[in-house]
């Protein structure tokens, strides 16, 4: 996370921003190239202006409604996934993400 690459082709991770933390942009680099990506995002923002942004080459997904759980599933893996937020002062959020690589079996 944040400059490091995943060590396996199928992996999961967790990121959170606490209420007293400043917002930052975090990048996750993935070793796999084929498969799917998913995330569950749970924001707790003080008002409707606060947003969590999950971004890959395929999507930019701002989540804005406080206290709603968002689920995202993408049909591919991009080499980078970014997590950031706007207007999140005094807000917090949690993201559980996964990269699920396609399995290739040889005979």
pLDDT of residue 2: 61
Query: 22-26, 67-71, 75-79, 100-104: lowest mean pLDDT where?
Result: 100-104
Cα within 13 Å of Cα(42), Cβ side? 6
Domain boundaries, the chain: 11-101
| 45-65 pLDDT tens trace | 988 889 999 998 888 887 766
**CATH class of the domain whose range is 11-101:** mainly beta
Taking 90 as the threshold, does the pLDDT of residue 25 lie above it?
yes
| 8 Å CB contact between 38 and 73 | yes
80: β partners: 29
């Amino acid at each position: 996370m944040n400059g490091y690459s995943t060590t396996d082709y199928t992996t999961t991770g967790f990121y959170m921003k606490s209420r007293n933390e400043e917002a930052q942009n975090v990048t996750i680099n993935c070793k796999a190239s084929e498969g799917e990506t998913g995330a569950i995002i749970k924001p707790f923002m003080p008002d409707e202006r606060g947003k969590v942004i999950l971004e890959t080459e395929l999507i930019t997904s701002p989540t804005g409604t406080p206290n709603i759980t968002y689920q995202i599933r993408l049909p591919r893996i991009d080499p980078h996934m970014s997590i950031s937020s706007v207007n999140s002062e005094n807000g917090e959020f949690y993201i559980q993400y996964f990269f699920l690589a396609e399995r290739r079996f040889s005979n």
